[in-house]
Chains A and B, each alone.
Chain A
Amino acid sequence: MQELKARALELLKNGTVQRVLGWRIGENTYDPEPAFFDSEEAMKDFVYNNFCAANLSKYMIEACKLEGKTLVCLKPCDSYSFNQLLSEHRIDREKAYIIGVGCKGKLSIEKVSQAGVKGILSVTDTDPLQVTTLYGDTTVAYKDAMLSRCHVCKGKDHVVYDELIGESEDTVDADRFAEVAAIEAMSPEEKFAFFQAELSKCIRCNACRNVCPACSCRKCVFDSNKFDSTQKANVDSFEEKMFHIIRAFHVAGRCTDCGECSRVCPQGIPLHLFNRKFIKDINNLYGEYQAGADVEAKGPLTSFTTEDAEPSVVSQGGIR
């Protein structure tokens, strides 16, 4: 962390970059938030710890409109989102100075609570986590406090960067498509019951859309077209029901599986299941594809072959 902060400060002071896009220390170790830093004074609050889960690539859309370069800290998975935005011409490579930061798997305070810890006062980002609570001290194993996405990480290599700082560790201990496959194996009744129960929890806060680097349309279908508001307070019944399918479809073929949508959903809805189903189908039908891996690659929904499967494969047993 010190090395990263020192280097960022150096680049800011020598004028290579006009600002730094990183994480600002919150009230606690576990709630750092994305922030821009434009002075040595501001950099005092800069932090990079194992709770820095937010993917900063989407903020580059705005940063690229500003004068000068922005230093952006990207974790390995964030670098895929950055590349995807590059290939969609939403950001400008010349406006970014990328420090690829190491990642040992990111932690989540929700996971700590889910591990059964109550009344959390403070927590460390060490292995294991040292937690002080209203009821005394305890520890939680690092793996148990890690975000689900880190258990199925795409790998610790950055696909785009100017320099690399910090070490990474392998965190994979699960199959990325296992959850999807388990649902595919259910009966239609079970599938429907599962999704109805999950989606009924949605409060339409739009957090999943707002955080998503692939959801960067200037005019979103879910925004009000009558008023200049960023989101509709009252959605019609169509959106109520179809929001999740539409959102996932809009990012199909462009979603890098960065896991931010599931991370930010206040209702704990497993949004990654939709994205991963699309990714799994695309891999199956049109060949292995990882959005963001290659800036020049043609997206699976903006290309085709004359030999593609017919939609009837779905009613003939489904795509597994």
Chain B
Amino acid sequence: MSVNEEFRPKIVAFCCNWCSYAGADLAGSSRLAYPADVKIIRVPCSCRVNPMFILRAFEKGADGVILCGCHPGDCHYSTGNYYARRRMTLLFSMLDFMGVENGRTRVEWVSAAEGVKFSTVMNDFVEKIRSLGENVRLGDLRCKN
């Protein structure tokens, strides 16, 4: 498979209900294009995302996982995204420590008014994952030698 032409990455985007999911909606209704390879999973808040969700997405075949939430200070539940920020930072750092390409995980803050940002972020992320190719390592960490 030639990576750049045929590889269609599977991207999972966890979007919080109050800002980012609305941002995605706005991107849609404004007819801003972003690749269909992005599968959105709506969550009540960015801090609902247990680190296991991220790992599970990879295990189920995702090539990249992105978490979108309200901008710091704007979380519908006041502080959820601050907790999410620490968790994701530590989780991403651990994956990096284990040799998983660090470009496969990302956090972006997208408000309900930022349809344009949503589509730019997704286009950029998909491009990044295309360049990284298929995710092998997270599915393969403990395969028997």
Interface assignment of B51: CB less than 8 Å from any CB of chain A: yes
Q: What sequence of 0s and 1s flags, for each residue 234-253 of chain A, a beta carbon within 8 Å of any chain B beta carbon?
A: 00011011111110110010
Interface centre among A190, A245, A282 (most CB of B within 10 A): A245
CB–CB B137/A311 < 8 A: no
- Residue-by-residue, is B95-108 near A (CB-CB < 8 Å gives 1, otherwise 0)? 11111111101110
When distances are taken between beta carbons in the complex, the residues of chain B under 8 Å from A246 are 51-52, 55
Tell me if A249 and B91 are in contact (CB < 8 A).
yes
Closest chain-A Cβ to B70's Cβ sits at a distance in Å of 13
Q: In the complex the two chains form, is A278's CB within 8 Å of B99's CB?
A: no
Give A156 to B25 CA distance when docked, in angstroms. 58
- What residues of chain B lie closer than 8 Å to A281, measured between beta carbons? 89-90, 93
Let me know if A200 and B93 touch, CB within 8 A: no
The smallest C-beta distance from A236 to any residue of chain B, in angstroms, reads 9
Residues of B within 8 A of A177 (CB): none
Count residues of chain B with CB under 8 A from any CB of chain A.
41
| Of the residues A183, A193, A240, contact of B142 by C-beta under 8 Å | A240
Mark out the residues of chain A between 191 and 207 whose CB falls within 8 Å of any chain B CB in the assembled complex.
191-197, 199-200, 202
* B105 in contact with A311 (CB, 8 Å): yes
Contact for B85 among A189, A310, A315, CB less than 8 A: A310
Describe A's contact surface by its main secondary structure. helix
Known contacts A242-B59, A246-B55, then 9 further A-B pairs from the complex at CB < 8 Å, ordered by chain A residue = A192-B100, A195-B98, A202-B142, A221-B52, A246-B52, A249-B90, A278-B90, A304-B79, A318-B96
Whether, in the assembled complex, A285 has its beta carbon less than 8 Å from a beta carbon of chain B, the answer is yes
Residue of A nearest to B102 (CB): A315
- Cβ of A184 within 8 Å of any chain B Cβ, yes or no, is yes
Q: Which residue of B lies closest to A192 (CB)?
A: B99
- A193 in complex: contacting residue of B56, B99, B106, CB < 8 Å: B99
Residues of B within 8 A of A315 (CB): 92, 96, 102-103, 106
Chain A interface residues toward B at CB < 8 A: 180, 183-184, 186, 188-197, 199-200, 202, 221, 237-238, 240-246, 248-249, 252, 274, 277-278, 281-282, 285-286, 300-302, 304-306, 308-315, 318-319
Q: Which residues of B contact A190 (CB under 8 A)?
A: 99
A242-B86 in contact given A184-B97, A195-B141, A196-B143 (Cβ < 8 Å): no
- Contacts of B83 on A, CB cut-off 8 Å? 301-302, 304
A200 adjacent to B142 (CB under 8 Å): yes
Q: Is the CB of B79 within 8 A of A310?
A: no
Please give, as numbers and ranges, the residues of chain A lying within 8 Å of B55 by CB-CB distance: 238, 242, 245-246
